Structure 1
Amino acid sequence: MIKAVIIDDEINAQDLLEKTLNRYFPNKFNIVEKCNSVDSGVLAIKKYEAELVFLDIQMPEKNGFELFKYFEYIKFEVIFTTAYNQFAIKAIKRSALDYLLKPINHLDLAESIKRFENRNKGNFAHKKLSLLLENLNVNDQNVSKIAFPTIDGFELIHSNQILYCKAESNYCCIKKIDGITKTVTKTLKYVEEILPATSFIRIHKTYVINLNYVVRYNKINKEVELTNGEKLPVSFRKEEEFINAILQNN
């Protein structure tokens, strides 16, 4: 059984999550302790050598992100639980970490558990959580590297290395300025949401481009040319927004 710790200052939220886990995932989790603060959570994780931590972000004395200051090396996986805070959610996504919105739905929980079981095969927890702490301390424009989920694990790419992103069914291909293409196991919509909005824009249902690498726009052909010579289509619906973004970017 997977040793899990629940950290949440709301007793009702603790109990509901425990009951949901026991009901939908019988004999899979051993909830070794339920804690109502970061400090008690740290003690429980170390005492039981927890493999998975369900961590609330908003707590009165210390927020959930402060938990990681107490570990020199992080061996456990984390699923964040939160009711709001869009900035934190974006930082969590950029670090290839998982989160659940309260009230927690058992279907969303099942998806998170599935991802936990798949990624638990490789020990990426420390890298992802270190990246999260970096991204929490910068604004959207100065975001650190982004962890993009791949079939093998995740790929760390700085946003300024990305030329454009292309939809490939439920996956997404990321074309870098060095010519290398990486396949990400997320949709273009997901990738678009975690990229800095100041530099990236959707120009077509298939493409999101980095405005910093635009060379010219052909209004007749409705094509944008990038620094590597590639020409990508701009849809009629996206043209005005794209032109405005180019003017603002310069």
Structure 2
Amino acid sequence: MIKAIIIDDEINAQSLLEKTLDRYFPNKFNIVEKCISVDEGVQAIKKYEPDLVFLDIQMPEKNGFELFKHFEVINFEVIFTTAHDKFGIKAIKRSALDYLLKPISYLDLAEAVKKFEKKNEKNFAQRKLSLLLENLNVNDQNVSKIAFPTLEGFELIHTNQILYCKAESNYCSIKKIDGATKTASKTLKFIEEILPATTFKRIHKSYVINLNYVVRYHKANKEIELTNGEKLPVSFRKEEEFINAILQNH
């Protein structure tokens, strides 16, 4: 099922969209949360990690576009919903999956759902590649689980599941190959020291990466590209060390 969140300050609009989805797409959508504001939506997205967000644009305190300020990486698709067609161009520039004008017609909604499913097929191919890379390393003696300290206790993660780690003030976010992000209650420096040095390398004051998931290095832009398509900066001071590590690792 498609895990979805509806963000709209109008309760009637929320209910109508949910009923339309239930009627025309039975057993296809799981609406995990309905929110009346951007702030509520941000919390729900972080909690449920949805596949799709139906996002109203015109809301009292913050408009829908401000939601993106709260996420450095968007791991969900967005379908904008609004009663004002003047927002169309801005929505498109935000690279939204689609843009639906209220009152939402079934035909427009069906087209938007078709776009989501088509795009999701491509993402599925990436997930299969990530799973393959993980399975290839299952019996590798160098691959081990590490207990990462969290506010609740510890999170046990296979090192081969980690794409990169990012500094977040006194905390550290751990991005996994399946797209999930975990938060460790320690600094990036601490996390770097417990990761295997042969596989993980600091490329920037804010990033430690898994060398196994680097697909290319853009020297002119000073950035790497990972298997999931994300691009991360390489600092001038770390460039030579990173290049040497890549050459030795492969």
Query: Which TM bucket (shorter chain)?
Result: 0.3 to 0.5
Under a length normalisation based on structure 1, what TM-score does the superposition of the two structures give?
0.47
Larger RCO (alpha carbons 8 Å, 6+ apart)? 1
